[in-house]
Structure 1
């Protein structure tokens, strides 16, 4: 436990050295990787990390694996009215008549949606393999778009387009007698395209494409996530504390983006005209801490509860945005036929999800919400998402 506390203290110290303000027009917290399983249970997953997503959520979880797992997937999610708003902008720019007529049509579309936020996220087909103590993953494209109609008549647009190659390594610390402790590190190369600014209505009349590849700032980063998991051994000595052994508690911590440097250069994957002087937003160093508590297994049912504080040291962090609580309920008929139901609380908003696995095919459904408001004024952005998987 002392090792875990030392790690947290050190992380808080180095994080304060890198504290920075907002970069762009979005007040939300962008997560470089998201899992529908984690999101369904409030995105409280730091101390769980018991599937292929450990590579991204907490690499220490790789040390506790007994066998290999290959996941191939793609996913998409969006606010309920994202497409309709984008279509209305396109229609307004094509209005028949004078420029004044087109501008008035665009003003009407934007003013009607003042204060709302529309978002979408698309993850291209990607693959992750994890084994006992190691893992590797490649995500060729992860696109996030956030649109907020604003005053004066404009649209705040923020876009992230990441390509990520990751390699993780983990092991247990064997000289600790009263606990099972694991550490892990995920090194990664991230090429990021980034755009975040306000687009006024006059610009949208001339071109309804809110963002084009030539608008993106682009650069690549070399960084790493370092994680730990701590499972105490609780003796069955008849004390009140001994009953906690039934819950098999696990505590975890992850420092994400330890290096937290500016982009090194540009690979020009998205914007062929990108220059090294026009750098994208940094990955941002943050600290996540969490706990996991198992339910007693009954017949084919089991599950766990989780509690995390995430994104500590992020410029947009407050307790509301950082608090994540989740509950997951498992059922399993066979190793190839099983499922899970989840509910949670993330950034002050309810989440829910389910997974269904049959042979190699796995379907994940989730609804969650991001707090895209300012520090003192929360604002909900509800998202509905699906992920299609093949697991081997």
Structure 2
């Protein structure tokens, strides 16, 4: 059985790594965090904290205690964002109308900014939380006429359950999210037209459901196979309108998809253990993505006494890295990863940096 599992893992890595084309638009998920990005974006088989509610509800079965996260701001900026700000200052990093004058000074530069919080209460097999984020990606055309703009502001209530079978070797999790979304997704937005979100954004309320599965073999390395079906039945945002903004259009539909992963968890000594994982995202929508490298993620983590963590990985053909300092109440995380934001003819890496602080009880 062990031999079969290792052969399957090697085949999985080999087959998914063969097709390296290049696509123009960035792939975005509902949630991505500092730990996940430091490990190459691979997280569904290894998450073991409150983010399980958003990443893989089956991982709620890994939690040992009940705890709450009161305050956990997470900020992320792209490599070119600082230069754009230095050339032309702006007040709100998540407001397109403030950013466009700065983009006009530095045309062709890719702007990226993200902020998110997730106060929550979780325990073994159960979790509840409120998630909010702001994401803005923008780049002005060389002639200054249009802006490739993506903006998203989510406010979501998440509720998750997990069922443990066969002494926890099988975990099945269910998560439901009620999501109020405000979104702008326009690669040819006029740079001289209206830029306020009331005029250009789509708004709506949707119900999203995820189903997660974790299978863990009772061996020394705890080899694990995981899968998450996301947006089961497809998520649309037409359940209600005018919740936070009155617009004429609704946000983009999110197709049902499937992510799969494998992981092992070696124990090196009493205070040192590690995590190795590989993940393939978008199994059901992979035909829509010509660049298969965007779907493959791999990560590594070394845990020193549950206090210091070092992480590294591979994300969309680019390196990732990060570290964490943790205590019973506080958590500090930093990470860096590369995101593919180029075109078919000219691939471009946007190097990004993420900072997170969390206080728990």
TM bucket, shorter chain: 0.7 to 0.9
Q: What residue in structure 1 maps to residue 98 of structure 2? A: none
The SS at the match of 1:185 is: strand
Deviation at 1:200, TM superposition (A): 3.6
Deviations 1:191-232 (A, max 9, x none): 1101122234444xxx7xx54344210001112000100012
Deviation at 1:296, TM superposition (A): 2.2
Q: What residue in structure 2 maps to residue 383 of structure 1? A: 352
The SS at the match of 2:119 is: strand
Q: What residue in structure 1 maps to residue 18 of structure 2? A: none
Residues 1:266 and 1:294: Cα distance change in structure 2 (over 3 Å): same
Kept in 1: contact 2:87–2:106 (CA 8 A):
no
2:118 aligned with 1:126, yes or no?
A: yes
The SS at the match of 2:238 is: coil
Deviation at 1:359, TM superposition (A): 3.7
Matches within 5 A, 1:333-372: 338-372=307-341
Q: What residue in structure 2 maps to residue 328 of structure 1? A: 301
Kept in 2: contact 1:266–1:274 (CA 8 A):
no
Kept in 2: contact 1:27–1:316 (CA 8 A):
no
Range with greater deviation from structure 2 (289-298 or 194-203): 194-203
Deviation at 1:286, TM superposition (A): 1.8
Q: What residue in structure 2 maps to residue 212 of structure 1? A: 197
2:246 aligned with 1:248, yes or no?
A: no
Q: Structure 2: how far apart are the matches of 1:302 and 1:188?
A: 33
The SS at the match of 2:28 is: coil
Kept in 2: contact 1:26–1:158 (CA 8 A):
no
Q: 2:162 aligns with which of 151, 164, 170?
A: 170
Structure 1 residue runs of 5 or longer lacking an equivalent are 2-24, 92-105, 234-244
Q: Structure 1: how far apart are the matches of 2:68 and 2:103?
A: 45
Q: What residue in structure 1 maps to residue 12 of structure 2? A: none
The SS at the match of 1:163 is: strand
Deviations 1:242-283 (A, max 9, x none): xxx332111100011112142224443442x324xx111123
Q: What residue in structure 1 maps to residue 233 of structure 2? A: 259
Q: Which of structures 1 and 2 has the bigger CA Rg?
A: 1
Runs of 4+ that moved beyond 4 A? 86-91, 108-112, 374-377
What TM-score results when the alignment is normalised by the length of structure 2?
Answer: 0.82
Residues 1:359 and 1:223: Cα distance change in structure 2 (over 3 Å): closer
Q: What residue in structure 2 maps to residue 95 of structure 1? A: none
Kept in 1: contact 2:61–2:125 (CA 8 A):
yes
Range with greater deviation from structure 2 (64-73 or 214-223): 64-73
Q: Structure 1: how far apart are the matches of 2:233 and 2:85?
A: 37
The SS at the match of 1:325 is: strand
Q: Structure 1: how far apart are the matches of 2:34 and 2:220?
A: 27
Matches within 5 A, 1:230-245: 230-233=215-218, 245=219
The SS at the match of 2:234 is: coil
Residues 1:66 and 1:84: Cα distance change in structure 2 (over 3 Å): same
2:126 aligned with 1:147, yes or no?
A: no
Deviations 1:18-58 (A, max 9, x none): xxxxxxx9711111111211111111111112221111111
Q: Structure 1: how far apart are the matches of 2:74 and 2:308?
A: 18
Q: What residue in structure 2 maps to residue 181 of structure 1? A: 170
Deviation at 1:126, TM superposition (A): 3.1
Q: Structure 2: how far apart are the matches of 1:323 and 1:187?
A: 26
Residues 1:229 and 1:212: Cα distance change in structure 2 (over 3 Å): same
C-alpha RMSD over aligned residues: 2.7
Kept in 2: contact 1:111–1:149 (CA 8 A):
no
Kept in 1: contact 2:135–2:152 (CA 8 A):
yes
Deviation at 1:81, TM superposition (A): 2.6
Q: What residue in structure 2 maps to residue 195 of structure 1? A: 184
